[in-house]
Amino acid sequence: MKVAIFGAGTMGSGIAQVFAAKGHVAMMYASSVASAQRHRDKLAASLNKRVAKGKMTQEAADDLMSRVVVEEFDAAADADLVIECVAENMAVKKELLGRLDAICKESAIFASNTSSLSITEMANGLNHQLVGMHFFNPVPAMKLVEVIAGANTPAELVEFTKNLSIEIGKTPVVVNEAPGFVVNKILVPYCNEGVCVLQEGVASAEDIDIAMQLGANHPMGPLHLGDLIGWDVVLSIMDVLYHETGDSKYRANVLIRKMVRAGKLGIKSGEGFFNYKK
Ligand code: 3HC
């Protein structure tokens, strides 16, 4: 299968990796061909690190990368599956999907890796059918895919997406459309609450994370987790939860907004509540 992945950041690169690992051609798209090429190089470098650690053979890494390709926009016309993982903004996603709708073959399936937005609204006006296919960070390590049915997503497409998720080594759960679906509706307010506890001076960032790791057996505490997800992503999901429900329990902590404005997004920017600069 030829899979065109739009958005080559943390999620898009991870999604390209898992599809290519299972024999599919993963076409990486970013804001420009040069930018997609840079993301492809980063992916190759991360596989090389796995090779160096003895977690993967050089042959497997080379074989995988031979199926990760960077193409011009028009080459997506030939894709069997398009997965969008661009900015978590409905207007941006709709603009891209509209352009793809005009060029992609009729049988192409559209999927969105949105972390919180409405699949129904995203599909509105498209000739192609759209389903939610929500991966988790880091994509190669996280087993879950939330398969999200919008109001007009056919049952056969949901079934196809479930089977495809299994085929690429993931465990799917089918969820109905709702802001944040299942995981982010629970997990993102958890990160927000971690920031509230910090802001109230209850404990230091380090101790909040140690408390949740050792007291609740979580693999990482809420502040490190937000650093992994990216505070810009956490903020946009909190804002969607708040605006869609009108419920004040989903109000983003002002410290998160300040962090985002300061460019302290977490691991990807080198600094969040913890420092990742080498
Ligand atoms: N490529 C391939 N494999 C990877 C990888 C990558 N980029 N990153 C990690 N892995 C693999 C490791 O190689 C290892 O498997 P192996 O031993 O078979 O090779 C396994 O994952 C565990 O990794 P590590 O031993 O390096 O590290 P840890 O044991 O500390 O685990 C973690 C790291 C998996 C990130 C763990 O801390 C964790 O599960 N954290 C929680 C992550 C989480 O909750 N993610 C969800 C965020 S919400 C989200 O993504 C939704 C979005 O919409 C916002």
Q: Does residue 170 contact residue 145 with C-beta atoms inside 8 Å?
A: yes
Give pLDDT, residue 165.
Answer: 98
10 Å CB burial of residue 142 (0-12, 13-18, 19+) is middle
Q: How far apart are CA 111 and CA 145, in angstroms?
A: 12
Active site residue 218: no
Q: pTM of whole model > 0.85?
A: yes
Give the 3-state secondary structure of residue 243: helix
Which residues have a Cβ under 8 Å from the Cβ of 73 and sit 6 or more positions away?
A: 29, 99, 103
Q: Which of 50, 148, 239 gets mutated to test ligand 1 (max ligand atoms within 8 A of its CB)?
A: 50
Q: Which stretches of the chain drop beneath a pLDDT of 50? A: none
Q: How many CB atoms sit inside 10 A of residue 168's CB?
A: 17
| Ligand 1 pocket, Cβ-based, cut-off 6 angstroms | 46, 55, 115, 136-138, 140-142, 184, 187, 219-220, 225, 229, 233
Give pLDDT, residue 140.
Answer: 97
> How far from 187 is each of 64, 95, 130, 201, CA to CA, in Å?
32, 29, 25, 22
Which residues have a Cβ under 8 Å from the Cβ of 276 and sit 6 or more positions away?
A: 227, 266, 267, 270
- Both tokens of 101, joined, read 């709708």
Give pLDDT, residue 278.
Answer: 78
